[in-house]
Structure 1
């Protein structure tokens, strides 16, 4: 409504529109077009304005503007802090040679817990040379 110059800061303020919206729709976050038209009629009646005048202003204002949209800025500090080739120590391990993050493996030492106990180093069922499967204890005689 600001873009359409409906809100002038004197007769109609953003507070007025907000209070009237909350009175009419209570907890609604979204409304459909029919509800919006009803809101415009009720709001115009409350402010003693012709609904047609409000509708004309809203129709003629054009598309929603993005005048306050933020844009990314490139500052020397940001470039320096995000250049992964200059990282040292444990931070250097967090990225591969292309600068792409390695995820959890770059931040923590991940243990291989594939054995059935912490001291057994090969996987259970692995019959490779040099590894022995645990054998059951023979029954007492």
Structure 2
């Protein structure tokens, strides 16, 4: 059971941040119970997440949103009946033992996370020579950013109208 305790605490602390972060949490939430059953491939045709949600509500203490290790074990013994049907096992105790061994062999995993692009088609997105319109003005010829000069229109306070080409030539002609 020591391996089961370690995996239980790993699932308890998965996705936890804040003051209880760092592996100190001793209770498991409904979300992490569902994650445990999915990651350990315990769900099947007869045992569904609805069954674990109902059993979770049954075994949690009044006013609490989490289960202790003993409460989780009671939950697993209850849903072992449906797990037995899915895997065609002989007894409920055999199904419970198989569920515990599955939890002991799997840990919390990261699924559907964003990974690196394996196609390599991202170079054209970062090639500044291919930029058009106002985005082209943000980079110099070597591809380095111009900073505020490329992003902000600098307003001239010389007194001349915008786009007047003869600025500074009045004194020369008169």
TM-score range, shorter chain: 0.3 to 0.5
Normalised to the residue count of structure 1, the TM-score between the two structures is: 0.48
Which of the two has greater helix per residue? 2
Structure with more contact order per residue of length (Cα contacts < 8 Å, sep ≥ 6): 2
